Amino acid sequence: MTWQNLDVTGALEATMTARRTRIAVGAAAAALVLAACGGGGNGEDGGGDGGGAAAGAEFDLVQEGTLTACSDVPYPPFEFEDPSAPSGYSGFDIDLLSTIAENLGLELAVQDVSFDALQSGTTLAAGQCDIGASAMTITPEREANLDFTDPYYDSLQSLLVHKDSGIESIDDLAGKNVGVQQGTTGQSYAQENATGANISAFPSDGELWPALQAGQIDAILQDQPVNVEHVKADENYVIVEEYETGEQYGFALAKGQKPELLEAINAELATLREDGTYQEIYDSYFAADES
């Protein structure tokens, strides 16, 4: 299956319902496994499996038995706060990584961090977390400082404006204030293609979107699925253009530091595609463009 030219669909409430169902099923299955193994005590850090070794000991994790992910939140539909979720966060990236962690016998913990520090490799090199899960495009520049998993999502860039702005394309941005997220491929695309525009970089979408609504900027140029969420949230805004950039997202790890974890996650991604679990999670957030 290819995952290009895709639109976001379905409310986040439906997504969280589907997610809770998966977690409930997984918890029930885990309980049955423990019962079959005779219970026998949990061991330290939730790892006890009879041999006493903590889950994921071979992965050199920040915290034993836990896969710690760093993510720039909010960035719906990929990551957003969800108090009902075990980690406190949901989204396509989070749900996918949560399933991978569960299959590896690990809990998932999420830390909200700056995207710029994450994509540069600084956060991961410092050992703050094991993996970056933040709708991060794989680029040669980032690969100099990060190890990436196999791609798990194909994305586009897009231009979001107020419906009465008079902006119809990137060619209309000369003299306009265009918001981008700092350190992203959207920023690079705007710098290369939005001739004459005044480009303002914001730390995250959590600042970008309110700035557009307040009239502080005239447009947002960023990943298409995120802009689609804003259109769904407020019918006064429209996406006037999409840009085929050939981008693919990957989970990121500190360069050369966790080869066993990288290999295990790639194996899980392949398995989830083969057994249909990836498609289940994908469909809870996105639908194919039928046009």
Alpha carbon distance 270, 268 (integer Å): 5
Question: Is 40 in the same domain as 175?
Answer: no
Radius of gyration of the chain (CA): 20
What is the tally of structural domains in the chain?
A: 2
Question: Is 128 in the same domain as 207?
Answer: no
Alpha carbon distance 139, 254 (integer Å): 15
Encode pLDDT of 207-243 as tens digits. 999 999 999 999 999 999 999 999 999 999 999 999 9
User: Does 1 map to a domain?
Assistant: no
The per-residue pLDDT for 48 is: 39
CATH label of the domain that carries residue 20:
3.40.190.10
- What is the mean pLDDT of each successive set of 10 residues along the chain, which is 291 residues long? 38 42 41 38 39 74 97 96 96 98 97 95 96 97 97 97 97 98 96 97 96 98 96 97 96 97 98 97 76 36
User: Does 30 map to a domain?
Assistant: yes
Question: Is 168 in the same domain as 224?
Answer: yes
Question: Is 74 in the same domain as 116?
Answer: yes
Question: Is 141 in the same domain as 257?
Answer: yes
Question: Is 136 in the same domain as 273?
Answer: yes
Question: Is 53 in the same domain as 189?
Answer: no
**84-96 CB burial, b ≥16 within 10 A, e <16:** ebbbebbbbbbbb
The per-residue pLDDT for 56 is: 83
Question: Is 209 in the same domain as 264?
Answer: no
Q: Let me know if 102 is exposed, middle or buried by CB neighbors in 10 A (0-12, 13-18, 19+).
A: buried
Task: Give SS3 for 134.
Answer: coil
State the DSSP string of 184-222.
SHHHHHHHHH-TT-EEEEESSHHHHHHHHHTTS-SEEEE
Write the CA distances from 184 to 11, 115, 215, integer angstroms: 26, 8, 22
Question: Is 57 in the same domain as 101?
Answer: yes
The per-residue pLDDT for 169 is: 97
178's tokens: 């265009």
User: Does 277 map to a domain?
Assistant: yes
Question: Is 190 in the same domain as 49?
Answer: no
Residue 204 lies in domain? 156-245
Task: Give SS3 for 74.
Answer: coil
